[in-house]
Amino acid sequence: MSETTRYSLDDLLAIMARLRDPERGCPWDVQQNFDTIAPYTIEEAYEVVDAIDRKDWHDLRDELGDLLLQVVFHAQMASEAGLFGFADVVQAISDKMVRRHPHVFGDETYADVAEQKQGWEAIKAGERAAKGERPDDSALAGVSHGQPEWKRALKLQQRAAKVGFDWGEPTPVLDKLAEELEELRAEFADGAEPARLEDELGDVLFVAVNLARQGGIDFSRALRHANAKFERRFRRMEALAAVDGDRLEDLELPAQEALWQRAKAAES
């Protein structure tokens, strides 16, 4: 096909099927399964978010394509296993969107967004009941495990806050964070086993998510910015070392720290 060929969704499905063909396909694609592809699916979703964060719309187009490929890949493997096909995926999500938006596709009316969210949760509860799931009256019912743990922490905290189990402002959360950090410091000082350190570090991270929530900050976005800042400054350190005729890995930590401070100062 030429570069001007306009592909359709059906073409993409056919391309994926060809890649998975045991005789004529790509050996790598043929060897994959749900478990091996799942990490790529998560990675592609994060790359979509990164493109949005950078406001790089050309890159966003490409990253959305990569994410769509993940859906097609999983659907193709499911089809080969006789589980379901891509059309079934489309049918399922279409049914769900129509069912969960009765105020758009039906006669239901909501006074405001808050009432709509209540209706959404009620519909989801009905769906769980229809599946035969045991009734769960907990305020935490339905918080999915299929998401990054920081996101699940946020959802759990939001649900708890709805019934009043919440500090409501950042000061006591900062105090709690200091308390948890001291407990973690003590575990390190005592030479604690990894399991104890993991437990205490988990508490610190859980409180950090709560602090972000209290400040109206997107925890993931804040961490992405921190990662970008570290990478920017570290690369600047490498460049400064090269100007001085050094390699960063050949310098002692105090000299590296001095370069870090220079890189940091250059930004301000």
CATH number at residue 29: 1.10.287.1080
CB atoms within 10 A of CB 78: 16
CB atoms within 10 A of CB 106: 10
What confidence category does residue 235 fall into, taking pLDDT thresholds of 50, 70 and 90?
very high
Residue 130 maps to a domain: no
**Residue-wise pLDDT tens digits, 150-184:** 999 999 999 999 899 999 899 999 999 999 999 99
What confidence category does residue 3 fall into, taking pLDDT thresholds of 50, 70 and 90?
low
| Spatial CA neighbour of 65 closest among 88, 45, 95 | 45
**Residue-wise pLDDT tens digits, 105-137:** 999 999 999 899 889 888 988 888 888 877 777
Q: Tally the C-alpha atoms within 13 A of residue 156's C-alpha that lie toward its C-beta.
A: 13
Q: Which of 57, 75, 98 is the last residue of a domain?
A: 98
Residue 59 maps to a domain: yes
- Quickly list DSSP for 166-189: S--SHHHHHHHHHHHHHHHHHHHH
Q: Which of 65, 98, 131 is the last residue of a domain?
A: 98
Residue 27 maps to a domain: yes
Residue 154 maps to a domain: no
Instruction: Give the contacts of 234 (CB within 8 A, at least 6 positions apart).
Output: 263
Give the pLDDT score at 76.
98
Q: Tally the C-alpha atoms within 13 A of residue 9's C-alpha that lie toward its C-beta.
A: 6
CA–CA distances in Å: residue 123 to residues 31, 102, 118, 140: 40, 10, 9, 16
CA–CA distances in Å: residue 205 to residues 13, 45, 119, 161, 174: 41, 23, 32, 18, 12
Residue 3 maps to a domain: no
In whole angstroms, give the CA distance from residue 156 to residue 148: 12
What confidence category does residue 53 fall into, taking pLDDT thresholds of 50, 70 and 90?
confident
- Cβ contact 85:71 at 8 Å: no
Structural domain including 90 reads 9-98
CA–CA distances in Å: residue 15 to residues 18, 64, 77, 90: 5, 17, 13, 18
Give the pLDDT score at 2.
52
Number of domains in the chain: 2
Give the pLDDT score at 130.
85
Q: Which of 46, 70, 98 is the last residue of a domain?
A: 98
Residue 242 has pLDDT above 90, yes or no: yes
**Residue-wise pLDDT tens digits, 131-152:** 887 777 788 887 888 788 999 9
How much is the average pLDDT of 33-40? 95
Structure tokens at 98: 């129509």
Q: Mean of the per-residue pLDDT values for the chain? A: 93
Residue 121 maps to a domain: no
Give the pLDDT score at 192.
87
Residue 256 maps to a domain: yes
Residue 122 maps to a domain: no
What is the reported pTM?
Answer: 0.67
Instruction: Give the contacts of 129 (CB within 8 A, at least 6 positions apart).
Output: 135
